[in-house]
């Protein structure tokens, strides 16, 4: 009996293992930053003895981090950080050290630490939301892009709902300013999408992360009217039955929810 319990506790799917994985889960982009730092640390420790071995060690750490990260683009970023920075440093070895603070400062302005738990900057494809026209929102409906980035989602929403009042909210002030400049038809404001009041919206659109979807659905159920919509590009709320699942021109799923119905039934096959 004790052996069986120990085997169950050490199983990859055991509650203990699941709790450990949740505890070790870090907000993006910290996994990539740690992979880059680890690669450079290994390189500096080994390079006095062998440049080739040091380079291979740095590449190996980046590759291991890429394999550990489940999403392809995150793994790619973790893997290319060390070789790309090594190439840049080799080409710009004469630059003063303070020059490297400039891109870091720009990155923090565009992608502040407070937003690390939200999605990185990935624009919505221009025609990705065209299928939402089937929802037939009334003229003057209020449509919110929660986390609008540079405004690509705002433009896609306008294509789908040309008569709607399009709004966007974005925490990064440079991105919010750029979205407002690009999308004069929309009302764009800087703010936290999680603290913003979604009441009064007829549709809320998200292009977030899988980890964000339960929180988004809970917020939508608490604040949206029964006849309002929550739409997520690519990422579903696992365990919740969608109203429908559309496909974008490039084949990605577009999950359409009606949170006010209170449905929590699991989808078939889940």
pLDDT tens for the chain, residues 1 to 270: 444 444 444 444 555 544 444 444 566 667 778 888 888 888 888 888 887 787 888 888 877 877 777 666 667 777 777 777 776 666 445 455 555 555 555 555 555 555 555 555 678 988 999 999 999 898 899 999 999 988 999 999 999 999 999 999 998 888 899 999 999 999 999 999 999 999 999 999 999 888 888 999 999 999 999 999 999 999 998 888 999 999 999 899 999 999 876 544 434 333
- Report the alpha-carbon distance of residue 257 to residue 29 in Å, rounded: 28
- Report the alpha-carbon distance of residue 74 to residue 67 in Å, rounded: 10
pLDDT at 173: 84
| Interacting residues of 132 by C-beta distance below 8 A, sequence separation 6+ | 157, 160, 161, 203, 231, 246, 254, 256
**What residue ranges define each of the domains in the chain, with the CATH number in brackets?**
2-95 (no CATH), 130-261 (3.40.50.150)
| Residue listed under structure tokens 């009042």 | 165
pLDDT at 7: 46
- Report the alpha-carbon distance of residue 44 to residue 48 in Å, rounded: 7
Claim: this prediction has a pTM higher than 0.85: no
pLDDT at 102: 58
pLDDT at 167: 98
Instruction: List, in sequence order, every beta strand (DSSP E) within the chain.
Output: 142-146, 165-170, 187-190, 203-206, 229-233, 244-247, 253-257
Q: Which residues pair with 173 in a beta bridge?
A: none
pLDDT at 43: 80
First to last CA, the chain: 32
pLDDT at 197: 95
pLDDT at 72: 64
For residue 165, what are its two tokens?
């009042």
Q: Which residues pair with 165 in a beta bridge?
A: 142
What SS3 state is found at 125? coil
Closest CA to 209 of 192, 232, 229: 232
């Amino acid at each position: 009996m004790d052996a069986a319990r120990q085997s169950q506790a050490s199983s990859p799917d055991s509650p203990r293992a699941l709790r450990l994985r949740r505890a070790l889960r870090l907000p993006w982009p910290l996994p990539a930053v740690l992979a880059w730092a680890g690669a450079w640390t290994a390189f500096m420790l080994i390079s006095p003895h062998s440049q080739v071995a040091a380079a291979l060690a740095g590449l190996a750490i980046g590759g291991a981090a890429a394999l550990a990260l489940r999403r392809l683009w995150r793994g790619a970023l973790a893997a290319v950080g060390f070789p790309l920075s090594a190439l840049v440093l080799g080409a710009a070895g004469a630059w003063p050290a303070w020059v490297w603070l400039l891109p870091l400062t720009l990155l923090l302005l565009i992608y502040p630490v407070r937003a690390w738990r939200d999605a990185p900057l990935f624009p919505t494809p221009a025609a990705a939301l065209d299928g939402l026209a089937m929802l037939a929102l009334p003229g003057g409906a209020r449509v919110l892009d929660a986390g609008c980035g540079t405004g690509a989602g705002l433009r896609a929403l306008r294509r789908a709902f040309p008569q709607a009042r399009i709004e966007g909210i974005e925490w990064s002030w440079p991105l919010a300013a750029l979205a407002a400049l690009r999308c004069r038809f929309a009302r764009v404001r800087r703010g936290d999408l999680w603290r913003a009041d979604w009441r009064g919206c007829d549709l809320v659109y998200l292009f977030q992360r899988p980890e964000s979807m339960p929180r988004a659905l809970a917020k939508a159920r608490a604040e949206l009217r029964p006849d309002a919509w929550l739409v997520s590009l690519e990422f579903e709320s696992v365990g919740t039955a969608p109203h429908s699942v559309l496909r974008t021109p490039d084949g990605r799923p577009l999950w359409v929810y009606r949170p006010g119905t209170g449905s929590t039934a699991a989808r078939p096959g889940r």
